[in-house]
Copies of this chain bind each other. A is one copy, B any other.
Amino acid sequence: MPLKVVLLTVMASSSTFSAWALNGGLLVPKVSRNNSEFICNDLDCCVKRTPFMPTSPSAHVSRSCVFPGAKAIDWRRGKLSPKSGLQCKALEVDTKHSFSLGNKFQLEDVIEAQQFDRDTLTAIFEVALEMEKIEKNSAGSQILKGYLMATLFYEPSTRTRLSFESAMKRLGGEVLTTENAREFSSAAKGETLEDTIRTVQGYSDIIVMRHFESGAARRAATTASIPIINAGDGPGQHPTQALLDVYTIQREIGKLDGIKVGLVGDLAYGRTVRSLAYLLAKYKDVKIYFVSPEVVKMKDDIKDYLTSRGVEWEESADLLEVASKCDVVYQTRIQRERFGERIDLYEEARGKYIVNLDVLNVMQKHAVVMHPLPRLDEITVDVDVDPRAAYFRQAKNGLYIRMALLKLLLLGVFILDDEANLLRM
């Protein structure tokens, strides 16, 4: 894959260069050309217009080009590949500032919620916020121009797929879509997932995979030489949903430490609430309330985990009381498919805890209602107009989180040596 991106150069002392720097744009050294040629990431014309000419090597220019020890990350896998001799000083930045986590931040694949520590979450959320600005205020970004994302879906999930594809395209990237991956590999002709990944990675720069088997994403990541994002693997993980949930709380409530969260509905099978509980345990003084019909109660593994991490939790049958105390009421759909023949149990369970105007009325002014969507009638439609109804904003946050992950996985970080401003993508 073409080494896109980034970078480069120049001295403040050179008026030529500083002018050029103001002109900005993503510039890349043209590989397999001589080092003094640069190209603008996505705008051919820029290059043409801004003839960067260390080649016509006026002594002045060559003196300006400091930082002989500049290093560049291998963007594809986040590995460090020092490019000694590269003469460059500053680097381009599509977005002015970036998060700052020191030199070690790296993201190779997104496989499960557990892989993220608190610092990484903070970093991702910072980038997500930046993405929000890009999406809302600017004329669109082209930072992923030239990159190809393959959506390798072994089972259809249009909502998730659309969100990822929108994220990629909002950043200028391109998409290869497969909603019937099941047909073209394992299931159809007996090809292994590993072989499929080896083929598809030849056609793309990143793979977003949804699979029906738990653990499939990890197997893919082990094989792949390009980043893998797990977009749900069977009953297993759906880490981007977990991230967007936590990000939404951060955005809506303004903090994650010290919050009270009510998890409502299907707590036994709903992987979103399980992941959310897991991630909330990384923050301080969190209190979690479980409100669910008897048949779909939160399982002991999560309860034990929370306890082991010192997270306070309690079960309650009183949605109104819980709602009155919480910062977040996280409602979920009771999934009919979990009940098999027992429609009676399903009907009983689904009607039990409904978020309606009564619930809204006892909620605090700053609190919000969340829901992973789709919803049936577990939140009544009259709630929608209330500003505390955050579920559609939450869905939108999925876009920002996915934009952030794509940026981090594909562009990684860029670090110049210690002689100067540390500037990164």
User: Nearest-CB distance from A48 to chain B (Å)?
Assistant: 4
Closest to A53 in B: B32
Cβ B156 vs Cβ A146 within 8 A: no
Cβ B37 vs Cβ A51 within 8 A: no
Task: Please indicate the chain B residues that have their CB under 8 angstroms from the CB of A375 in the complex.
Answer: 191, 195
Cβ B26 vs Cβ A203 within 8 A: no
Cβ A140 vs Cβ B2 within 8 A: yes
Task: Please indicate the chain B residues that have their CB under 8 angstroms from the CB of A41 in the complex.
Answer: 44-45, 139
Closest to A44 in B: B41
A383 on interface, CB distance cutoff 8 Å? no
A417 on interface, CB distance cutoff 8 Å? no
With A37-B32, A134-B2: A26-B158 Cβ-Cβ less than 8 Å: no
Q: Which of A137-191 contact B (CB under 8 A)?
A: 137-142, 145-146, 148, 150, 156-159, 162-163, 165-166, 169-170, 174, 176-181, 183-185, 189-191
Cβ B4 vs Cβ A139 within 8 A: yes
Cβ A139 vs Cβ B134 within 8 A: no
With A26-B139, A199-B392, A392-B198: A376-B44 Cβ-Cβ less than 8 Å: no
Cβ A44 vs Cβ B49 within 8 A: no
Cβ A139 vs Cβ B135 within 8 A: no
With A373-B195, A374-B190, A376-B191: A26-B42 Cβ-Cβ less than 8 Å: no
| Complex interface bits, A259-294 against B, C-beta within 8 A gives 1, otherwise 0 | 000000000000000000000000000000000000
Cβ A44 vs Cβ B32 within 8 A: no
With A24-B48, A137-B2, A162-B203: A55-B32 Cβ-Cβ less than 8 Å: yes
Cβ A39 vs Cβ B44 within 8 A: yes
A50 on interface, CB distance cutoff 8 Å? yes
Cβ B169 vs Cβ A148 within 8 A: yes
